Structure 1
Amino acid sequence: MNGTAREPLRAAAQLGLAGLLAALLLAGTWVLTREHIVAAEHHAQMAALEIVLPSTRYDNDLVADSVQVHAEAWLGLDTATVHRARLAGEPSALVLQVSAPDGYAGPIRLLVAVAQDGRVLGVRVTGHQETPGLGDDIEVERSDWITRFTGRALGDPPADQWAVRRDGGHFDQFAGATVTPRAVVRAVKRCLAFVARHGDELRAAPAGATLRFDTAPDDTAPR
């Protein structure tokens, strides 16, 4: 083979070697940074959960100790993550992803922490499209309305009081915006009812399990 014929082969070999070196470099970088990325993601998830769940309530890894739940009639989501809090090996709380599907401008995403005794430890909005200056008072940065669920439970207030005042209930609505708080109140109530009915199954399932619940709450019809 003459020199002219060997040039394309040499160029192809050099190109292949360069590609291999680039792939090795990327793989090495991924290996070196993967643990840091995973750790950062874990830290971010834990920080979000601690907004509704005091750190004194658990000593386990909330991210690892979780299950996937199909219970759209209760939680408003096709698939929701439920984190299980434990203290000294005993169940202490659940943190549930919840959606209020009947918000004024669309679904309102929530994070709800429920203690072992069924009382609310915290509720926070994680996403919504409600009208700025009206419905967005569900955000804790704008008002303390969302914090008023803390300490509440089924029966406190009574079942017929789990509604906004305009509907004869206990919870305030916003001036010019009733649909938004009404949707949140109903979603939190359904979450508590779901935990009361299926909490034992949620706590007993192996970490990483997927559970399906085909039951439905009694208040499926909008008010």
Structure 2
Amino acid sequence: MGTKTMLNAIRKNGLVLAIFAIISTGVVALTHYLTQNQIQHQEQQQLMSILNQVLPQDLHDNTLYKSCTLVTNPALGTKSAMPAYIGTLNGEPSAIAIESIAPDGYSGAIKIIVGVKQDGTIIGVRVLSQHETPGLGDKIELRFSNWILEFTGKKVTQQNLPTWKVKKDGGQFDQFTGATITPRAVVKAIKNTVLFVDQHRQEILSQQLNCGVK
């Protein structure tokens, strides 16, 4: 094969590869464009499902994911801003669902969301993300056990503050056999979150609504 023929073949192959790359990029971009709204819708539905578990619909008549403000405070277990969803009923604040972090889980940070009524009563708690040991620490999730339901209906007060621990530490909440660190971290995070809401409720309610599903 002559040099000229070889160069022509290389150019031809290069052109084919370039066209293929352009087409592939276009397909990826088109697929992303077509699925973007669907993904956003699924994220919104997932968020609403969780929010309605910790702040049931009979306690609010507004769209929760649109009534969201970002809150930054070490009491929430992180330096990052965390979303707080404001529930209102007939135009009046009824409850707050706020995300926070238990930074001292056995396998790292545990993200939770806590729903709190205006009088400080816990409506519900759910785990949003965790990396705890399967079969042990992951029992903090409702799909694995009912442990997280222990907090529903409870308050955090100065009088009962010493009982906001697992039973192994002299508190009122169960731990798991072979896994005390995980529930200990979650109990502490819930306590700190509720205390923060109780102490900063008006501040949270007066903030600008500036977050939510994009």
Indicate the percent of aligned positions where both proteins have the same amino acid.
42
Could you say which residue in structure 2 is the equivalent of 1:75?
A: 76
**Cα shift readout 1:89-110 (whole Å, capped 9, x = no counterpart):** 0001111111100101111111
Could you say which residue in structure 1 is the equivalent of 2:184?
A: 182
Q: Residue type of the partner of 1:151?
A: G
Measured after TM superposition, the shift of residue 205 of structure 1 is 1.4
Other structure's SS at 1:86 match: strand
TM-score normalised by length of structure 2 = 0.78
Other structure's SS at 1:112 match: strand
Please show how residues 1-223 of structure 1 align to structure 2 within 5 Å: 38-71=40-73, 73-77=74-78, 78-155=80-157, 158-208=160-210
Kindly indicate whether the alpha-carbon contact (under 8 Å) linking 2:50 and 2:126 is maintained by their aligned counterparts in 1.
Answer: no
Measured after TM superposition, the shift of residue 52 of structure 1 is 1.5
Q: Residue type of the partner of 1:80?
A: M
**Cα shift readout 1:22-51 (whole Å, capped 9, x = no counterpart):** x9xx89x95x87766654443332122112
Write the distance in 1 (CA, Å) between the matches of 2:41 and 2:159.
41
Kindly indicate whether the alpha-carbon contact (under 8 Å) linking 1:161 and 1:168 is maintained by their aligned counterparts in 2.
Answer: yes
Write the distance in 2 (CA, Å) between the matches of 1:89 and 1:200.
15
Write the distance in 2 (CA, Å) between the matches of 1:179 and 1:51.
25
Structure 2: which 5+ runs fail to align? 1-21
**Cα shift readout 1:55-112 (whole Å, capped 9, x = no counterpart):** 11111111111111111x2111312011100000000111111110010111111111
Other structure's SS at 1:176 match: coil
Name whichever structure is richer in helix by fraction.
2
CA change 1:156–1:146 in 2 (3 A) is farther
Kindly indicate whether the alpha-carbon contact (under 8 Å) linking 1:99 and 1:107 is maintained by their aligned counterparts in 2.
Answer: yes
CA change 1:157–1:128 in 2 (3 A) is farther
Kindly indicate whether the alpha-carbon contact (under 8 Å) linking 2:106 and 2:132 is maintained by their aligned counterparts in 1.
Answer: yes
Write the distance in 1 (CA, Å) between the matches of 2:62 and 2:41.
16
CA change 1:33–1:175 in 2 (3 A) is closer
What is the number of residues matched between the two proteins? 184
